[in-house]
Amino acid sequence: MSEEKGNKKAKTWEEEYKDMPEYINEKPKEPEKTATFKFKTEEDFDMFMEVVKKELYNDKRVFDGKQLKDHKTAWYPLPSRPSEHVYVVK
The per-residue DSSP string of 36-69 comes to: ----SSHHHHHHHHHHHHHHTSTT--SS-TT--S
Write down the pLDDT at residue 2.
46
More confident residue, 80 or 59: 59
Q: Is 18 helix (H, G, I), strand (E, B) or coil?
A: coil
Average pLDDT over residues 4-29: 78
Find all residues with CB under 8 Å of 85, minimum gap 6, and list them.
Answer: 21
What global pTM score does this model have? 0.54
Burial (CB count within 10 angstroms: exposed 0-12, middle 13-18, buried 19+), residue 53: middle
- What confidence tens digit (pLDDT) does each residue in 36-58 have? 999 999 999 999 999 999 998 88
How many Å apart are CA 59 and CA 55, to the nearest integer? 8
